[in-house]
Copies of this chain bind each other. A is one copy, B any other.
Amino acid sequence: MSKDKLKIYGDGRSGNCYKLQLLCAEMNISFDWIEVDILAGDTRTPEFLTRNPNGRIPLLELPDGRHLAESNAILCYLADGSEFFGGDAWDRANILQWMFFEQYSHEPYIATSRFIIKYLGNPPAKQSDLQQKKAGGESALQVMDQKLSKSDYFAGDRFTIADIALFAYTHVADEGGFDVSPYSGVVDWIKRIRRRPGFIPMVKK
C-alpha cells in the first residue's frame, strides 16, 4: 500500500492531529499537510463538510479522493500490519482498548480542559465546565499510571499507536490545568517516548 501523496487536513494546535504527525515521523510516511483553523470555522464550511460530514479534523485524503475521519481510525489505517499495530487479534484488540479509553475517558476531560484554557482564553462562563472535567481527567491519569507501573508501554513492551493516541494530550496536560508529576509512571513514559529516534515534538503555537 503506497502512503505517498496522502493529504492530512489538520489544525497544528490539536493533539488529535499531532497523533498523525508523530506516527508518520515514526514510520517515515510523507504527506501534504493542509492547515485548517477550527476556531475560524474552517471545519464547518460546506466544502469541508462534503469531505467529512461530522465536521472534524484530522481528516485523511487518499490520492484517489477517499476520506477517512477520526484520528484513531486513521492511526489504525496507516499503521496496519506494522510494528505499531501488529500481533494477533488479542494484541490488536488490546491496543484498540486503550485507544477507545483515550477517546471516551481521557480526551473529553484533558483535551477539552486544554482547549478551554489555552484556546478559548479560560473565560468565566466555562469555569463550571472546567471544574466538572477535573475528576475525570485525574481518574484517566490514575488508570494510565497504574498500567504504566507494570509495563513500559500500553501494549506491554512495545511502543504502539495506543501510546501515540494517549501521548498526544497527556504530554500537554499541564496546559489543561493537570499536574502529571504525581504520576511517576506517566512521567517516565513521556520521557521514554521523547527519547525515541523517530520522535518529533508538537509544534506549539
Q: Enumerate chain A interface residues (CB-CB to B < 8 A).
A: 1, 53-54, 56, 66, 68-74, 76-77, 80-81, 89-90, 92-94, 96-97, 99-101, 103-105, 107-108, 143, 146-147
Residues of B within 8 A of A104 (CB): 70, 103-104, 107-108
Residues of B within 8 A of A74 (CB): 93
CA distance in complex: A105, B52 (Å): 13
How many copies of this chain are found per oligomer? 2
Residues of B within 8 A of A72 (CB): 96, 100
24 contacts between A and B (CB under 8 A): A53-B143, A54-B105, A56-B105, A68-B93, A68-B97, A70-B100, A70-B101, A70-B104, A71-B100, A73-B94, A73-B97, A73-B99, A73-B100, A76-B89, A76-B92, A76-B93, A77-B92, A77-B93, A80-B89, A80-B92, A99-B100, A100-B100, A100-B103, A104-B108
CA distance in complex: A6, B90 (Å): 14
Binding site of A, secondary structure by majority: helix, strand, loop or mixed?
helix
Closest 3 CB pairs of A and B: A77-B93, A80-B89, A73-B97
